Structure 1
Amino acid sequence: MSALSAAAEDDGDIFAGLAALVELRRRADAREEVLVLRARGQGLTWAEIAVLLGVSKQAVHKKYGGSRFERRGPA
């Protein structure tokens, strides 16, 4: 059973449901990071990415901006 289906089911096991939800969030956050970095690599601005994610430009830049995520110069 996938984390998504486990989190979506209402079988009464709140512990399993919450554990599945935590895993789903972890996977979603990891996927978001990959896609944001790919978008930046393809030239999208922070403002464009923010619109696509439904957050403010400041929020997306705070979460993904800076040297931790953006390499400057050759890798």
Structure 2
Amino acid sequence: MEMNDLAERIRSADPALGLRAVGALHRLAEQVEAASVAAARERGWTWEQIGDALGMSRQSVHAKYGK
């Protein structure tokens, strides 16, 4: 889904379109977060630093991405 399409759907009066757009945004955010965590780890960041940047505990970040 393109960004312009997402923005249009979010502004729609149709809740189904808006909710599908929200789902797409959640999936995109998860992908960006995972890529950013991987990049941070490759650059030597600690789980604590990553957790602080994401507003999460280091344990939560490690449990989610430490595999």
TM-score tier by shorter-chain length is: 0.7 to 0.9
Gap runs ≥5 in structure 2: none
* TM superposition shift of 1:2: 3.5
Give the whole-Å Cα distance in 1 for the aligned partners of 2:5 and 2:15. Answer: 16
2:13 is the alignment partner of 1:2: no
1:25-72: CA deviations, max 9, x gaps? Answer: 001100100000000000000000000000111110010002xxxxxx
Aligned ranges 1:1-40 → 2 under 5 Å: 1-3=4-6, 5=7, 6-7=9-10, 9=11, 11-40=12-41
Partner of 1:69: none
Q: Determine which structure has more spread, i.e. the larger CA radius of gyration.
A: 1
**TM-score, with normalisation over the residues of structure 1?**
0.78
Partner of 1:54: 55
2:44 is the alignment partner of 1:43: yes
Give the whole-Å Cα distance in 2 for the aligned partners of 1:25 and 1:2. Answer: 15
Query: Which structure shows the bigger proportion of residues in helix conformation?
Result: 2
Paired residues, number: 63
Divergent runs of 4+, >6 A: none
